[in-house]
Chains A and B, each alone.
Chain A
Amino acid sequence: MAVVVLRSAPLPRLRALLQRCWGRLQRGLLPAVCGAQSPPWGPALAVQAPACLPEPAEDTGESNEVPSLFDSILWMAAPKKRRTIEVNRCRRRNPHKLIKVKRNIDVCPECGNLKQKHVLCGYCYAKVKAETQLIRKEMGKMEGGPFNAPTIETVVLYDGEKPTEKDEGKRIIERARKRPPWFIQN
């Protein structure tokens, strides 16, 4: 008959199974202990069995292993209840989520548009940028190709302006328009 030898620390499921088997065996072997319910019996069949049950292999190895995805799915975070619209509104309309009123807006003294105190006026910047683009186009026409920038300074002259003694050795760019008031001549 098989002799059950319990190892020191089998897996909990296996241990429960063994306990149940052992309990059934006990009840079968010693009916007098529980109550005389079963009729007198004798050995029905004797089977050659190994001396001890095959021990669960790799016992220590499995306890170190990280639980697989099938186990970890059971303890993944998931919402328990639907968030009500009242709770959602409290979160969405909390003052920290509302847009704050900006108090650093001023009027540009040059053009009268609005500007932020620490930022250049957008309108003035755009008009300077447009004029600079045109000057650069003129310079491109004079140079004729890439990598032809001269090593001398450049001076921009508008309608009716003559180069002075200071502009002797400089390259001159002509612009066919009146000098804009914000482009001061040195």
Chain B
Amino acid sequence: AGGAWVRGLLGWARPERWLASGSVFPLACIHTSTSLQKLGKWEKKNRIVYPPQLPGEPRRPAEIYHCRREIKYSKDKMWYLAKLIKGMSIDQALAQLEFNDKKGAKVIKEVLLEAQEMAVRNHNVEFKSNLHIAESLTGRGRYVKRIRYHGKGMFGIMKIVRCHYFVKLVEGPPPPPEPRKTGFDQAKEYVQQLRNRTLVHTL
């Protein structure tokens, strides 16, 4: 009966709601839990559990989501580092970040090492080098306004800027980079678009 129930599930992933509350029956949930601050969407992505794969299916590569919140750095400056390591293997990314002089490079390196450790420990990844960076994003943190004192009694209002950094590691070698679209390809596409036009509302 249990097996039939499992097989009866649809192919899509079921988010694991039970673990979060700590009990199966909603009525028994009297929240005395000292849970950490509200979990963000990125942290919850690590909790999805897919149904077991059928024997014929190709192996689904492991995905590890990790992030760090409220980093004291600008999201625009962090974006350049995130763009640098997008699509690289984790070893190459760590090498590039080690010899980069920016402040955010040290932070991102720590995040990547943490994520690698999590992958090996919790997410059943066999080789810690067999990971690549599928997504790396920055987000805006909470800004705080402060007074900046100028001369002659003038003042300005400055923003203390913070950012979040999100990374998704996927098992496997990095995908080959897409070839740049040539002008000839773009021209061909344009001509094809013109040819696909049809007359509407006519005989």
Contact = CB atoms under 8 A, between A and B. Distances in A.
Contacts of B81: 99
A98 B84 contact: yes
A165 B95 CA distance: 48
B80 interface: yes
A142 B99 CA distance: 40
Contacts, number: 25
Contact of B99 (A92, A97, A116): A116
Contacts of B99: 102, 105, 114, 116
A105 B95 contact: yes
Contacts of A105: 95-96, 98-99
Interface in B62-119: 76, 80-81, 83-84, 95-96, 98-100, 102
A99 B84 contact: yes
Nearest to A92: B76
A92 B76 CA distance: 9
Contact of B100 (A92, A97, A98, A99): A99
B80 A98 contact: yes
A116 B84 CA distance: 18
A114 B96 CA distance: 10
Interface string A74-109: 000000000000000000100001110110010000
Nearest to A101: B96
Q: Size band of the A side of the interface?
A: under 10
Q: Name the residue in B76, B83, B96, B100 with the highest tally of chain A Cβ atoms < 10 Å from its Cβ.
A: B96
A118 B165 CA distance: 32
Interface in B94-151: 95-96, 98-100, 102
Q: State the majority secondary structure of interface residues on A.
A: mixed
A122 B164 CA distance: 29
Interface string B25-51: 000000000000000000000000000
A97 B77 CA distance: 11
Contacts of B80: 97-99
A116 B99 CA distance: 8
A92 B80 CA distance: 9
Interface in A93-138: 97-99, 101-102, 105, 114, 116
Contacts of B76: 92
A114 B97 CA distance: 11
A92 B79 CA distance: 10
B176 to A, nearest CB: 16
Interface of A: 92, 97-99, 101-102, 105, 114, 116
Closest 5 pairs (CB-CB, A-B): A99-B84, A105-B95, A99-B80, A114-B95, A116-B99
Interface of B: 76, 80-81, 83-84, 95-96, 98-100, 102
19 contacts: A92-B76, A97-B80, A98-B80, A98-B83, A98-B84, A99-B83, A99-B84, A99-B100, A99-B102, A101-B84, A101-B96, A102-B96, A102-B99, A105-B95, A105-B96, A105-B99, A114-B95, A114-B98, A116-B99
Given A98-B84, A105-B95, A114-B99, 5 more contacts: A97-B80, A98-B83, A99-B102, A102-B95, A102-B96
